[in-house]
A and B are shown apart, each in its own frame.
Chain A
Amino acid sequence: MAFRNYILVCGGTGCESSRADQIFKNLIAECEAQGVADEVQIVKTGCFGFCEQGPIVKILPEDSFYVQVKPEDAKELVAEHIVKGREVKRLLYDKEKSAKHAQVEDIKFYQKQFRIVLRNCGFIDPENIDEYIAREGYEALEKVLFEMTPDDVIEEMKTAGLRGRGGAGFPTWMKWNFTKQAEGDVKYVVCNADEGDPGAYMDRSTLEGDPHSVLEAMTICGYTIGAHQGYIYIRAEYPLAIHRLEVAMKQAREYGLLGKDILGSGFDFDIEIRLGAGAFVCGEETALLQSIEGHRGMPTPRPPFPAVKGLWGKPTVINNVETWANVPVIITKGSKWFSQIGTADSKGTKVFALTGKVCNSGLVEVPMGTTLREIVFDIGGGIAHGKKFKAVQTGGPSGGVITERDLDTPIDYASLQRIGSMMGSGGMIVMDEDDCIVDVAKFYLNFTVDESCGKCAPCRIGGRSLCNILEKITRGSGTLEDIDRINEISLAMKKGSLCALGQTSPNPVLSTLKYFPEEYMAHIVDKKCPSGKCKKLISFEINPAKCIGCTACARKCPVGAITGEKKQPHTINPAVCIKCGVCKETCKFGAVEIH
């Protein structure tokens, strides 16, 4: 069947929640109604990554990139673009240019990216195994089963230099090799899809957009280490990813790509899904294994490492989704090809979830060694609303802030650690001048305190104490001794905690303290919050010279703290004011000031 047009509708969770599914259905209905259903293929793909502008609809072969599409637009898109061949200008990302010029490659967001993990996201239908197969899918499995020995695979992974994308960056081949060499006739392969960093969603998008890449990689690993059973541990709050995985597993079984005697090779491998309840600590590998076994998700001391004694006491390889998605490409394209991408100690690419105060938030895949400036300013389009850049938080609650000073550092595992942050799973939250750095540190600590499993004292008690100190500072009752306390407690947590959650949770505090000491001092010594975020330290006042007495703020104030005659300067009663800031947002004359 030949089609003249292909309509790709984004089916990632971000776009789905902006009614992409309705757009998809409407497009199908409109193509039927307008008599072009036979000539057009409509595909629901995985995430395009350009989430800021979603829902995304892309029409080929013109390569028209439609953004912020609504279900009601389906009729016009079909009538104009498909039937009459005229692009719907108002929906195009780049409205100035015609189809010939405004190709996806020209959009700045995509220019510096290099897609390995997200190679199929936004192109194939993730619920159709044939489309994955057409894009070199299961070719790696084929090669491994019929042309390579397990040792060949280990060697290939070693040359490729792939390191874990879930946080610590441990070399993948070593994990596989340890497990392969471990004694035991039963071994397991586990996929860690318990993505929990605030703002990170690359694993979800990969599973939603290209589930077979993970299934194929796990099967390859199973063959390599001698395992016949795999588990995908995924949080129940990712229903779309779970659904697509289930569909993918069913199709793979029907094709004989999972199950007994895969492709007639005599090798058996199957995968089951295990749902987690969304506890952050279950992203820690030992806690995750506990949870799969049906126990409460709490870490256990390492060693023994899972490679020796993992799931049900058996040798287990556990890798994160993004790591898995790299594996088939390494096997098909070769380790040499892969090892040429990236930097000396970090090969390949990394997917970042770029969020926060940046113009183009979305999923970004770049070669290792790209600078933060390129990611935030070239790909991300800079800071939204013309504000000033302050810092980027990488590595989630285990990482730290990166400031203006280090924007030009090429990003890899080592360089990020040198500047006091870490790769983590790849969440990247951009902050501008309006964000209070003490408040940000408090936010992350609150998160880890909530998510601490409570098993070991340094994490359980230390985290709470740190949080209390930060709370005290943001209330204006902090003292200089508190800084020493922070350092002491942090050290104890780093040394004494059982797992990475406790060991790394002081990082956001330590790194903000290192790069923004003056902001902590302003809170402690001057009792002021320079960004105007900490409510106890600020007061709202109306500048009588600017106020024209329009009464707009007084009408909006939820507690009636603003009084004044019409056309006369108003005043705020500080005793009543709850510092919600509505008056400042409402005032058109900039008369409301923060002191």
Chain B
Amino acid sequence: MAKMTLEDLRKLREKKQNELNKRDINGKDCQVIIGMGTCGIAAGAKVVLDTFLKVLDEHKITNVAVTQTGCMGLCYVEPTVEVLVPGMPDTIYGKVDADTVRKIVVQHIIDKKLVADHVYDRPSADIIKNGGR
């Protein structure tokens, strides 16, 4: 890289800050936990995980930690994803694919509304109907 000006340094810092912030766990108040047991992986959990990382990045969301866990026991609706967002009920989504991931990010994480047709556990029926409100 050539010598930088003040402007270049600031731009580089901003760009790198975003990248490094993802590593920092402080301030990550939301969690996306992907069930990656054998059943989940066979049903496509790997794609789900990759898509989550991609979509979160596209929306420049930095307060979400994407982690994985083993089988959640809902093998009949794999891949399953648990989403924990403050102010929202803890939710387990089932039959998640790449499109559902986009919905979860936009609707659940950004707009704070449940993606009703994929909810498989936790919030009771009346909460689902009201979209989590």
Contact = CB atoms under 8 A, between A and B. Distances in A.
B125 interface: no
B1 A254 contact: yes
Interface stretch (B3-11, B89-97, B99-107, B111-119): B3-11
The range of chain A's interface size is 35 or more
B13 A84 contact: no
Interface stretch (A56-64, A227-235, A450-458): A56-64
Interface residues of B, dominant DSSP:
mixed
Contacts of B20: 124, 131, 134-135
Nearest to B28: A61
Interface string A551-581: 0000000000000000000000000000000
Contacts of A131: 16, 20
A220 to B, nearest CB: 15
A86 interface: yes
Nearest to A99: B67
A209 to B, nearest CB: 15
B94 to A, nearest CB: 18
A556 B107 CA distance: 73
B3 A256 contact: yes
B83 interface: no
B70 interface: yes
Interface string B41-76: 000000001100110110000000111111000000
Nearest to A255: B4
A263 B67 contact: no
Contact of B4 (A60, A135, A136, A257): A257
B72 to A, nearest CB: 11
A6 interface: yes
A46 to B, nearest CB: 15
B68 A85 contact: yes
B4 A256 contact: yes
21 contacts: A4-B49, A4-B53, A6-B22, A41-B23, A60-B23, A83-B36, A85-B34, A85-B68, A86-B69, A103-B25, A134-B13, A134-B16, A138-B13, A139-B13, A142-B9, A254-B1, A254-B3, A256-B3, A256-B5, A259-B3, A263-B5
Given A61-B28, A61-B67, 9 more contacts: A4-B68, A39-B50, A85-B70, A86-B69, A133-B12, A136-B13, A138-B13, A146-B6, A255-B3
Interface of B: 1-6, 9-10, 12-13, 16-17, 19-20, 22-25, 28, 34, 36-37, 49-50, 53-54, 56-57, 65-70
